[in-house]
């Protein structure tokens, strides 16, 4: 699999793009998500199984509102980053996975999330999306990525473990866990 490259910090929605080969041999493109992806993001969310939507949004979001779609696609790329995994479909791009983080006011901690379309799961896509996101967060100086998830989500537990996240029970909700990944400083070579 392709690894994130070291170098200058992420600079905006037109940079970078990665081609990723999945475990089944199919190739996808991972690129920044933008406002122009609003319709594709809506289709992606609506196409998730009930369980995948519940795990991603910690509840049901069967038909996301226009305001919610705008919130998910209007990324400032100074404090927030969102990456979409896309494939060509009927002459256009179809979103098959998304990873994102939102930095807190200190810009040292970010809340992250990942979701993959049901038919694209178990192919390494979630891992690829998260590795690119982690690389960007590290290059931008974040010191910690955290994710709050349902404790019953065994696939997220496995992904988090494989990526090196530590797990603790959410002190405010015993049905949830908080995964944390301390990040070393930027990966630039002197």
Domains of the chain: 18-142 (3.40.630.30)
From the CA atom positions of the chain, what is the Rg in Å?
A: 16
Residue 3, pLDDT above cutoff 50: no
Q: Are strands 27-32 and 18-21 parallel, antiparallel or unpaired?
A: antiparallel
The pTM of the full predicted model, rounded to 2 decimals, is 0.87
Residue 112, pLDDT above cutoff 70: yes
Angle at which helix 38-47 crosses helix 66-73, to 10 degrees, equals 110
The pLDDT score that the predictor gives to residue 82 is 96
The pLDDT score that the predictor gives to residue 148 is 94
Condensed to tens digits (0 to 9), the pLDDT of residues 161-186 reads: 999 999 999 999 999 999 999 998 76
Condensed to tens digits (0 to 9), the pLDDT of residues 14-61 reads: 568 999 999 999 999 999 999 999 999 999 999 999 899 888 887 767
Residue 9, pLDDT above cutoff 60: no
Q: Across residues 131-158, what is the average pLDDT?
A: 94
CA terminus-to-terminus distance, the chain: 26
Confidence of residue 114 (pLDDT cuts 50, 70, 90): very high
Neighbouring residues of 27: CB distance < 8 A, sequence distance ≥ 6? 19, 20, 21
């Amino acid at each position: 699999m392709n690894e994130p490259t070291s170098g200058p910090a992420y600079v905006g929605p037109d940079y970078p793009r990665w081609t990723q080969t999945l475990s089944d041999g199919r190739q996808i493109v991972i690129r920044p998500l933008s406002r122009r992806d609003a319709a594709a993001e809506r289709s992606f969310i609506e196409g998730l199984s009930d369980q995948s939507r519940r795990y991603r949004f910690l509840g049901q979001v069967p038909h996301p509102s226009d305001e919610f779609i705008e919130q998910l696609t209007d990324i400032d790329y100074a404090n927030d980053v969102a990456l979409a995994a896309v494939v060509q479909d009927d002459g256009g791009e179809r979103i098959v996975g998304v990873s994102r983080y939102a930095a807190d006011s200190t810009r040292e901690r970010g809340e992250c999330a990942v979701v993959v379309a049901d038919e694209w799961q178990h192919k390494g896509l979630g891992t690829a999306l998260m590795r690119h996101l982690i690389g960007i967060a590290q290059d931008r100086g974040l010191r910690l990525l955290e994710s709050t998830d349902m404790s019953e989500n065994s696939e997220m537990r496995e992904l988090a473990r494989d990526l090196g996240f530590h797990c603790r029970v959410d002190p405010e909700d015993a049905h949830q866990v908080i995964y944390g990944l301390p990040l070393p400083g930027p990966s630039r070579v002197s």
